[in-house]
Amino acid sequence: MSQDREHVRSWIGLSSIPGIGRVTFRRLVKHFGSAHGVLDASQDELREGAGLSEKLSSELRSFPWQERADKELAQADSAGVAIITAADPDYPALLLNTPDPPLFLYVKGSLLPEDGSAVAMVGTRTPTHYGLTVTHRMAYELASQKITVVSGMARGIDTQAHKGALAAKGRTIAVLGCGIDTAYPPENKALMEEIARTGAVMTENPFATKPESGYFPARNRIISGLAAGTVIIEAAEDSGSLITADYALKQGRKLFALPGNISSPLSRGTNSLIKQGAQLVESARDVLKGLAIYKGSKTPASILRQPPLLTPGEASVFKTITDEPKHIDVIMAECSSAPGKLSGVLITLELKGLVKQLPGKYFVLQD
């Protein structure tokens, strides 16, 4: 076994001992110089030198950590997963520079230097069409500007953020609140595999950790910790996304929020964040300017997609279409168009890739 592997083995072993949390782990490693040094220490040294209780020092000396560590390493080898400790040079620098970084990361995929320019995007699991559309568009534009998009692979906004980045053939990182051998939610298994092929899937949790609610708040500090800034999109007042927002502020990172309909419960969290000082953003350009890494003279959207020329009649109809589904009767009233003529214009706008028809004769802007 190489020295690096032995180093990882000792870190896993020490952390697997009941009663050794992150704070105690760091204190012991600092005192003894390494995890291996802690594991080799006598019970007297642990108790008298490091100040551990009789019970914990006894547990540390008798616990079968070698068996636990070897099993974890074997599973990692079999699954093609890298285990990166906080002492490893490949550990993400932004995450390391937070108050409580994970002791190690289980990573499937690759971490690259350019991930240092990352933006986190999170939000509700039950978004509106507006939230889904804006998330996909913003993630697409950020990824197209070589920005890594970080999210938590949850249903709703998180899933859409990953998909937007992948659609742009950009990088995205998914942070799990369970073991890396578990796809959660289950319907995102294919998405998880695609992310691992082109970006990275990671967690701080050991193999076989179930996706229980207690793991997700801790997961959120990793999402914000990996990013220079965090964007909150559609969040109720009690949303878990607000935990991510709180972590971002505690970590000294930029916080952005997408404004929403004042009558929508899903906008109360984001609108409240804006009132409290979060930067209001409407596009990827706003995020990049807020992070002082935007260099273009055009918005990313205008670079990616130049809209086709419209006739006056098409333009009149197109300006009534929004990110929220709108019925054809409402569109007709707003643009004062005859029914037959309006249907033809809407078909033309669909063919030009600007408008999408939904069931029930509702229309929205194309993603």
| 22-26, 102-106, 229-233, 319-323: the lowest-pLDDT one | 319-323
The CA-CA-CA angle for residues 116, 118, 87, to 5°, reads: 40
CA–CA gap between residue 235 and residue 268 (Å, rounded): 7
pLDDT at 351: 76
CA–CA gap between residue 367 and residue 364 (Å, rounded): 9
In the chain, % helix, strand, coil (3-state, to 5) comes to: 50, 15, 35
* pLDDT mean over 331-352: 83
Tell me the pLDDT band of 344, cut-offs 50, 70 and 90.
confident
Fold entry, domain 312-365: Arc Repressor Mutant, subunit A (1.10.10)
* pLDDT mean over 94-103: 95
pLDDT at 135: 95
* pLDDT mean over 315-321: 86
pLDDT at 322: 84
| 146-150, 186-190, 209-213, 312-316: the lowest-pLDDT one | 312-316
pLDDT at 343: 86
- Which one is predicted more confidently, 334 or 231? 231
State CA 63 to chain mean position distance: 35
Residue-by-residue DSSP string for 310-365 = --HHHHHHHTT--SS-EEHHHHHHHHT--HHHHHHHHHHHHHTTSEEEETTTEEEE
Q: Which two tokens stand for residue 97?
A: 């520079």
Tell me the pLDDT band of 367, cut-offs 50, 70 and 90.
low
Q: Span 113-303: which CATH code?
A: 3.40.50.450
pTM: 0.81
pLDDT at 258: 95
Q: Is the predicted pLDDT of residue 294 greater than 50, yes or no?
A: no
Class of 3-79 in CATH: mainly alpha
Q: Is the predicted pLDDT of residue 331 greater than 70, yes or no?
A: yes
CA–CA gap between residue 261 and residue 2 (Å, rounded): 57
pLDDT at 341: 85
Tell me the pLDDT band of 293, cut-offs 50, 70 and 90.
low
Per-domain boundaries in the chain = 3-79, 113-303, 312-365
The conformation of residue 80, written as its DSSP 8-state character, comes to T
